[in-house]
Amino acid sequence: MRRGIWALVVLLFLVLLSGCQEKVTPEERLAEYVKHWNKAEFAEMYSNYLNKETKNTFNTEDFVDRQEKLYGDLGIKDVEVSYKKTSKDKEWDVEKPATFPIQVKMETIAGPVEFEHKITLVNETREDSENWYVEWNPSFIFPELAKGDAIRIQTSKSLRGEILDRNGLPIAINGTGYEIGIVPEKLTDENNKVKLADLLGISTETIDKQLNQGWVKPNLFVPVGYVAKSNTELLDQIAQLAGVTRMDTAMREYPYGEALSHLSGYIGDITGEQLEKWAKEGYTESDTVGRQGLELLLEKRLRGTDGTRIYIDKAVEGIEPITIADKPAVHGETVRLTIDAELQKLTYDSMKGEAGTSAAVNPETGETLALVSSPGFNPTEFMLGMSGDKLKELSENPLNPLFNRFKTSYAPGSAIKPVTAAIGLAAGTLNPAEGRTINGETWQKDASWGDYRVTRVHPEAPNPIDLNKAMVYSDNIYFAQEALDMGREQLVEGLTGYGFGEEIPFAYGMKTSQISNEGTISSEGQLADTSFGQGQMLTNILHLASMYEVFLNDGTMYKPTLFLDEEKAQVWKEGLVNAEQATTLRTSMRNVVVDGFAQAANLPNVPLAGKTGTAELKAAGEEGGKQNGFFVTYNSEDPQFILAMMIESVEDNDGSAYVAERVSNIFKYDY
Among residues 329, 275, 332, the alpha carbon closest in space to that of 303 is found at 332
Question: Which conformational region is residue 352 in: left (phi greater than 0), alpha (psi within -120 to 50 degrees), or beta?
Answer: left
The H or E element containing residue 67 is: helix 66-73
Three-state DSSP class for residue 195: helix
CA angle 323, 327, 332 (to 5 degrees): 150
Active site residues: 414
Q: Which of 513, 260, 543, 290 is nearest to 374 (CA)?
A: 260
What single-letter amino acid sits at 469? K
E strand map for 437-551: 442-443, 454-455, 539-540
Q: How far apart are the first and last CA of the chain?
A: 122
**Residues composing the chain:** 671
Neighbours of 365 (CB within 10 A): 19
| DSSP assignment letter at 61 | I
DSSP state of 647: E
Q: What is the rounded CA–CA span in Å between residue 188 and residue 220?
A: 15
Q: Quick check: 184 and 222 in contact, CB under 8 A?
A: yes
Q: What are phi and psi of 209, to 5 degrees?
A: -60, -40
All residues at 6 or more sequence positions from 361 whose CB lies less than 8 Å from its CB, including other chains: 367, 368, 369, 542, 545, 546, 549, 560, 641, 642
The answer to whether the CB of 60 falls within 8 A of the CB of 81 is no
**Contact of 555 with 577, CB cutoff 8 Å:** yes
- Bridging pattern class, strands 307-313 and 288-292: unpaired
- The SS3 of residue 497 is helix
Residue partners of 636: CB distance under 8 A and separation at least 6: 586, 589, 590, 607, 608, 609
> In terms of Cα–Cα distance, which of 179, 227, 185, 187 is closest to 204?
187
- The β-bridge relationship of strands 129-135 and 111-126 is antiparallel
Cα→Cα distances 181→227, 228, 323, Å: 11, 14, 39
Reading phi first (left if > 0) and then psi (alpha if -120 to 50, else beta), residue 224 is in alpha
